[in-house]
């Protein structure tokens, strides 16, 4: 907990800055409220404007790679690109059956990965979490419970869900997570101020394999290798992975292809913490 508190205190020194879309939405709501006071006869127009704004915010929140609601990393910076680095991110674990085999594959290829772990799953596998870190990989925040309704949480619920995961993962990994990924990448306008206060940075992806839904490993491999290049952030899943017709988790069939392709291209898989710059103090 002291590490979480330290990160939170440092984050308070970083002021949340609304994006232009958020500023415009705030101004619109104030203008509509004023119009109800000055000219209540136009209440229908005001209600329509607010409804349209909320619809736009919802659509933007459904777009995982959007930056309209706040800072969102979808690629590594130019310094990483110059060094031919890319980032493999693995979500929804840890899984006691799949994750150890993923770690062995990464070891054989000399590749590092960032595991966006679910707090309650990690708490059930403390030794596995320690193994992830000891092998040189990183554990980051993917919420405590991975609720499908996460994007509809209010400020208090968002803070509680993310902060609980911070405490859980910090105690297991021995390091406070610096990055956050929302469940399915879907979020609300309330998320960015919460992340800023907790000292977390949002990370989406360059390309995802849809390996929780697609059971054909060749299809997933083609999708990912097509976008494998310096600076790419790719997404696979060790938890909730789809299964091949033979019952094999798709990630276990895709990962060797992906890592061999990267090695042949001279690309080096690194953690997000290695490639992304530290936040300003």
Evaluated on CA atoms 100, 104, 105, 110, the torsion sign reads positive
Nearest to 122 by CA among 84, 90, 155: 90
SS3 labels along 11-79 = HCCCCCCCCHHHHHHHHHHHHHHHHHHHCHHHHHHHHHHHHHHHHHHHHHHCCCCCCCCCCCECECCHH
Please identify every residue annotated as catalytic: 91, 237
Who's near 166: CB < 8 A, 6+ residues apart? 4, 7, 141, 176, 177, 198, 200
């Amino acid at each position: 907990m002291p590490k979480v508190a330290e990160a939170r205190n440092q984050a308070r020194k970083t002021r949340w800055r609304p994006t232009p879309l958020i500023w415009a939405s705030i101004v619109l709501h104030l203008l509509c409220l004023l119009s109800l006071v000055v000219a209540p006869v136009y209440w229908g127009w005001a209600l329509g404007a607010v409804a349209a704004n909320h619809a736009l915010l919802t659509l933007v929140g459904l777009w995982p790679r959007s930056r309209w609601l706040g800072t969102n990393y979808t690629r590594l910076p130019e310094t990483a690109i110059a060094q031919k680095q890319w980032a493999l991110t693995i979500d929804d674990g840890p899984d006691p059956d799949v994750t150890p085999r993923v770690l062995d594959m990464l070891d054989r290829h000399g590749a590092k990965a960032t595991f966006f772990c679910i707090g309650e799953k990690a708490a059930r596998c403390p030794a596995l979490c320690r193994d992830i870190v000891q092998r040189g990989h990183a554990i980051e925040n993917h919420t405590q419970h991975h609720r499908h309704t996460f994007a509809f949480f209010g400020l208090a619920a968002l803070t509680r869900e993310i902060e609980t995961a911070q405490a859980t993962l910090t105690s297991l990994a021995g390091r406070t997570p610096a990055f956050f990924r929302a469940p399915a990448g879907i979020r609300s306008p309330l998320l960015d101020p919460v992340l800023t206060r907790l000292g977390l940075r949002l990370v989406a992806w360059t390309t995802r394999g849809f390996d929780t839904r697609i059971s054909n490993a060749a299809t997933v491999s083609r999708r990912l290798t097509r976008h494998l290049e310096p600076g790419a952030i790719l997404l696979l899943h060790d938890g909730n992975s789809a299964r091949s017709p033979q019952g094999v988790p798709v990630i276990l069939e895709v990962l060797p292809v992906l890592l061999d392709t990267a090695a042949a291209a001279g690309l080096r898989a690194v953690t997000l913490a290695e490639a992304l710059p530290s936040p300003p103090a």
